[in-house]
Amino acid sequence: MNQTVRTLLRPIHARLGAYTFAIGVDLSEATAKSLTRLRRDDLVRLCETRDLEAEGTKNQLVKTLLDWRDRQSETASSSQLSSVSTVRPPSTTRPNHDINTVPVLERSHRVHVTPPLSKVESPPPRKGSKPKDGEGELELDLESLGLEDKEIPSDKLVKLEKIGSGGFKDVYVGKLRGRVKVAIAEFRGQLSQMDIKELKLLRDFDHPNVVRFLGVSIPENTRDTPVMMVSELCANGDLFDYVRNVAPPSLRKVTNLMLDIARGIQYLHHHNPSVIHRDLKSSNILITSKVTAKIADFGLAKVKQSTRSMVRSLVGTVNWQAPELWHAHPKYDHKVDVFSCAVVYWEMLQWHAPTKRYPWEGMNEHAIYEAVGAQKKRPPMNGLRKLWSPDLVELVEHMWAQEPHDRPTSVEVTNKLEYLIKH
């Protein structure tokens, strides 16, 4: 292994060293107190390798693990964790997770299911998010969140067919006030800090290429009746499925969809305060009945108070992720979204291919780190220049440049696509 690869993998090996402790945890002897001492990402790993929900607060993760243990037989032994964490391809069954198996993504036939994250930041508590009863549950205070004008009485909502699920949400087609079709996300259990954060961000968004938040329904007793988040319905599901299920459109139509995405990103980056999405991928881009692309899922979005500052964190899904995130203490800015957008565009350029692949399909986390980070490889562009405009292919290659300062801004991407459409 050359020195460049060793340098890149050093922080990753450090992270895996932390996971070794979690591997040795014997849940048959663990208590709530002993599990709470673990780091949150260790708890996430313990959940993921047991096919359990891996979102929420530390207390919620501990409860999930203890509930799972109680359901197992007394002779069940703790399974060894795999260090693999990748996005999952479409599947209707959940495979057994052994050390040599790359996990696969369970997907709904209609609505996207969020792929597992390589690592998720646990946001700090915000005003209005108060733990109670020692269970890590959150009390949703609409007034303190500025959402008092977004409350929707539950009797004004009617749930229809279930169209998907992911994390701690079930998603339904519904009707608002008996007329307007909407998407209703029903939270299973108490809201997490990440859910609260997403609601607070959605409150202020107003752009044709960002999914429109309509309101939230808060029951009197959130222990027995779920909280519901209401947003506009994007009838064609997510872009991941749309590329695979719809006949390839013209170059102009594909470019228009790319422009929709670029305009949505530009809006977020120039919002006040500025927002970095941090988890941009085809399953987080929804398609309306009029075939307009809209950016969704802001659970991992990061607010930047200063456009000059660099954000320090490690989040997102590795297959779409910019390499500057792969450090023990990463520093990054808006250009991580530009990189991820380029990978999404690459997926769209495959529309005419008989087999649609997602980026780095079949590769585990460490293989992707080495390919993208050390070897500076990108998803294959073979033959794409013959199918698409060379200018469009060159734009994608510009957007996923290794160094952030070599990538265009979201404004420059938007301007370039507008120029290509006109000419």
Q: Catalytic residue numbers? A: 279
For the record, the structure tokens of 20 come out as: 């070794």
User: How many other β-carbons are positioned within 10 Å of the β-carbon of residue 215?
Assistant: 23
DSSP-based three-state secondary structure for 37:
coil
User: Can you list the alpha helix ranges (DSSP code H) found in 24-103?
Assistant: 32-36, 40-48, 58-71
The single-letter DSSP state of residue 371 is I
Task: Quote the CA–CA distance of 346 and 352 in Å, as a whole number.
Answer: 12
Q: How far apart are CA 42 and CA 171, in angstroms?
A: 28
Distance of CA 167 to the CA centre of its chain: 10
Structural contact between residues 57 and 87, judged by C-beta atoms closer than 8 angstroms: no
Containing 166, the helix (H) or strand (E) segment is strand 157-166
Interatomic CA distance for residues 93 and 114, integer angstroms? 16
Strands 293-295 vs 302-304: parallel, antiparallel or unpaired = unpaired
